[in-house]
Amino acid sequence: MPAVQLTKADQKFWSPDPRVVAWVSAQIPVGAKVLEIGPGTKPFPRASHFVDWAPHKSIPADALSRCDLQREPLPFADKSWDFVYCRHVLEDLYDPFHLCDEMSRIAKAGYLEVPSPLAEICRGIDGGAPAWRGYHHHRYIVWNTGGVLNFLTKYPMIEHLEFPNEEGGLRILRANRTAWNASLLWRERINWRFRQHGSDYIIARDYRQMITAAINEGLVQARSFGRIVAVPAIKLTHS
């Protein structure tokens, strides 16, 4: 087992950060219609309705719409929601771009959160602290650069790559909960970009450098976001 990894003794920050939940809630006008997509075990407290692919034990049936997020349209009219919250969903999907466009269609604004590139290359992140990199079921490495949500396919070869200063990455994750995720607060539409082999990079030559750049860009965004989550914010206006 590689020596450079999180262990079972390390605290894992998989759940929503209460500071971030409070900050996102402060961005939403009073009385706004709020939808959550993929509520997981801790639904967003400002949401009045939810979307998931299966029944949810903690959510009443009349507050849940079931939908295949990867291929079906969301069952709502254009711009019928003031705000949509979506956390730790996009990286799981084989087609996250469809959902990004659907959220842009049905909502006026929203908040997205995904695991950070640093978390996705760190060994021992997942349950039981396994030796593989990141979360075993994720399909994409995702990060925010200048308000654009970037997607990079998480190829199996990631297990065989070495990255600079992995011990330093572990120290960051152990000390800074914000570094576990990447986030995007958006208005009107989600701007996204799929970084593709053959046009943006060549896998055998550039993949490690692409991931390293994503880690560094993700850390810049995480540091900036970490500074603002505790600061009172200007609320998005109703329109």
- Is the pLDDT score of 230 beyond 90? no
According to the model, what pLDDT value does residue 17 have?
Answer: 94
According to the model, what pLDDT value does residue 239 have?
Answer: 39
The answer to whether residues 218 and 149 touch, using CB atoms and an 8 Å cutoff, is no
According to the model, what pLDDT value does residue 57 have?
Answer: 82
The per-residue pLDDT for range 188-199, each reduced to its tens digit, is 999 999 999 999
Average pLDDT over the chain, rounded to whole? 93
* Domain annotation covers residue 89: yes
* Domain annotation covers residue 55: yes
According to the model, what pLDDT value does residue 3 have?
Answer: 66
CATH code of 32's domain: 3.40.50
* Domain annotation covers residue 9: no
According to the model, what pLDDT value does residue 231 have?
Answer: 57
What are 86's strand-pairing partners?
Answer: 37, 112
Question: What is the domain extent for residue 102?
Answer: 18-228
The per-residue pLDDT for range 34-77, each reduced to its tens digit, is 999 999 889 999 999 999 988 888 898 899 999 999 999 999 99
> Residue range 101-126: average pLDDT?
97
| Stretch among 1-15, 63-77, 117-131, 203-217 having the lowest mean pLDDT | 1-15
- Is the pLDDT score of 25 beyond 50? yes
Longest dimension (CA), the chain: 54
For residues 159 and 38, give the distance between their C-alpha atoms in angstroms, rounded to a whole number. 28
* Domain annotation covers residue 154: yes
* Domain annotation covers residue 7: no
* Domain annotation covers residue 233: no
* Domain annotation covers residue 110: yes
How far from 168 is each of 4, 59, 211, CA to CA, in Å?
10, 40, 16
The per-residue pLDDT for range 133-168, each reduced to its tens digit, is 999 999 999 999 999 999 999 999 999 999 989 999
> Residue range 99-111: average pLDDT?
98
According to the model, what pLDDT value does residue 233 have?
Answer: 45
> Residue range 22-28: average pLDDT?
95
> Residue range 2-21: average pLDDT?
91
Considering its fold, how many domains does the chain have in total?
Answer: 1
* Domain annotation covers residue 4: no
The per-residue pLDDT for range 180-189, each reduced to its tens digit, is 999 999 999 9
